[in-house]
Structure 1
Amino acid sequence: MRVLITGGAGFIGSHLAEAYLANGDEVYIIDDLSTGSLDNIAHLKEKGGYSKRFFVHIDTIMNREVMLELVGTCDVVHHLAAAVGVEYILNNPMESITTNIQGTEIVLELCNKFKKRVLIASTSEVYGKHTHAPLVETDNIIYGPSSKFRWSYAASKLMDEFMSLAYFRTTGLQVTVARLFNTVGPRQTGTYGMVIPRLVGQALRNEPLTIYGDGSQTRTFTDVKDVVWAFQRMVENEGAFGEVFNVGGIEEVSILELAKRIVALTGSSSELKLIPYDEAFGKDFEDMQRRVPGVDKIRKLIGFDPKNDLDAILTRVVSYMRKRPDGA
C-alpha cells in the first residue's frame, strides 16, 4: 500500500510514517518544516530497508500541483499538516487560519478527485469552553469572542470537519475525522507551547516549571503509539467514513499535579512557578478549564483501549529528552 502523510516530518506524522514502513508499506510525506523537523525522520531515511520505500517532499500542501501528484500516487491519505501549538497560533494567526482551512480544502478536493480514503486530524480544541466530562462527539460547541485569537485554531479545525462531512454527504468521499486529545511522546517539542515536553525540559535543566493560570485546569494525555494504532485502523474501517471520533486517553490530571509528577520523576530541584495567562500569552488568550474525552464511539468501532497510562508516557518522554544534548 502507498500512504501519503501530510505533515509527515512532524511529531505524530513521523511516528505514523515509521509504523507504516514497519508494515512494509510505501510512505510518501510532504512537510514545509514550519513546525516539523528533518531530525524526526532522519532515522527512517538512513535505515536501509526503509529508504527505498520512503519518499520525502519538502513543500507546502498549498502547492496544488505537488499535491495532485502525491494524492494521485497514493492509496490512502492521512492529513496531519496544520498550524499547531497555542504559542505558534497566537504569533501566526493569518498563516494558521490559511493553512488549516485552505490546505484541508486542497486535500479533500484531490482525494475526492481520485477517490482516495482520507483521515483528517482534528483537535479537542473544537469543543471550546465546556467544563463537563467526558466530552462526546455530539456535544455543542462553545467558543469565546472572535477578538480572542486563541479560538481561531478551534474554529478553523471545525471548518475542516464541516468540509469533510460535506464531501462525504455530497460525494461519498471515504473520509474520517479524528479529534485528538493532547497527543504526547518522543520527538514532540515544547517550542510551540506543548505542555509536557516544555515542563520536562525545564525540570531536566532544573529551571522553574512555569504553570499558566493557577494550574487547576485539567487535561488527559494520549501516547502517540496509541494514536498511530488508531489512525491505521480508522482509515481502513468502512464504519468510520463520514464520522467524527475522539482519540484520547482517559486519565484526567491537573496541570499543577502534572508538574509535581514531572519533578518527582526527573529528580529535579525545580520550583513551580505560576504565571498569569495575560503575562504568558497576552490579551488574545482564554483557556479551556477541562478537556476529557469520551471514547465509547471509537472503542466500539475498533476496540480502542489506550495501552499507555500517564506515568508510562512521562517515563518515555523523560528518557527521550535526557538523551538530547539540549535536554529539550
Structure 2
Amino acid sequence: MEDLGPVEPAAPVSVIMPVRGEEATLAAAVTSVLDNGYEGEVELAIAVAPGPDRTREIADALAAADPRITVVGNPGLTAPHGLNAAIAATRHDVVVRMDGHAVMPPGYLALAVDALRRTGAANVGGRMVPEAEAPLARAIAEAMQSRFGIGGAGHRVGGEEGPADSVFLGAFRRAALEEMGGYDVHFTRAQDWELNHRLREAGYVVWFVPDMQVPYAPRGSWRALARQFHQSGRWRREVVTRYPSTASVRYLLPPVLLIGLVASTLLGIVGALLGVPLLIAAFLVPLAYALGLVVASVLMLPRTGAASAVLMPGVLGVMHLTWGAGFVRGIHHARLDGRG
C-alpha cells in the first residue's frame, strides 16, 4: 500500500466519463461537471465507444468549445476499457468517475475532495438515487432503494458515513488506482465493486459519504428490468467465483430462493398428481413468498403511492428471481462486452 499523501483543499480534479450511445444526455452531463461550483481546477476526459448515434460528434464539439475537455476513443467498447483510457488521458491526483447519462449535483466535487482530505481514503463515494414518475419506473426506483428489493448496501439504500465495501461511481486517489492497475477489463459489469474489493484487500479504505448522491433514471419496462438484474446476477457470480471470501447471505439468498421455489413447486405438482398431501404442502413455500412480496409492497406504500404499489410485488419478484437465475447461470456463455 502506497502512502497517498495529503489532499489539499480545492485540489485539482480529473473527471473521467466513459460513454456510449449518450447522444441525448451527454451535453447535460458535461455541463453538470464543469459548472459544479468547484473552486479548484477541473479537467474532464470523455472516453467514447463507437456507436450508431452522434455521441462522438457531440463530445468533439464540446471539447472544441472548452479546453478543459479531452475526448479519447474506447475501441474496447466496455465501461472498464473506457475508464482506463480516460484515466490515462488525465493528470491530476484526484480522479472522479461520472457517467454520461447522469447529472452531477452542484457541490459534488467539493464534497468528494473534502471527504478524501478528511478520511485519507483511497476512494470515496455515495449512492445512486433512482428517480421516476411513471408508475412502473417509480416502483422500480423505490425497490432499488429498499432492502426488500436489492439488499442493504449503503451505496444502494443509504446509511451512515464510514468505511464501506463499495460506493457508487467514486472519487479516487490516482496513486491507489495506478497501484491496482486501474479497472479490470474482464468485468464488464460489477467493475466498481471488483476494484473496490482489490483496494480494500491492499489495505486501502473505501469510504461511504451519504451526501454524495447522484440521481439515476431506472429502467422503465419489465423486459429491461429483468435483463438488468439477470446480467447483474451473472456477474456477481463471477465476482464470487474469483473472490470466494466475498460470498454473503445477500448474494446467495436469491439463487437459493429461486431453487427453493422451483423445487417446492415441482414437489407440489407431483403431490397433486399422485394425491400425496405431504408433497402438496410444498405449495406453501411459493405461497409464503408471494405473501411476503405483498406485505413488503404494503410497507412501501407511503413512498410509492397506490399506482406503483400495485406493481411492486411483480417488480420485487422480477428483481429477486432474475438476479438469482443470473447467478445460477454465471457468465460461462456470456459475451465479454456484457451484452450476452
Based on CA coordinates, which of the two structures has the bigger radius of gyration? 2
User: How high is the TM-score relative to the length of structure 2?
Assistant: 0.30
User: How high is the TM-score relative to the length of structure 1?
Assistant: 0.31
Higher helix share: 2
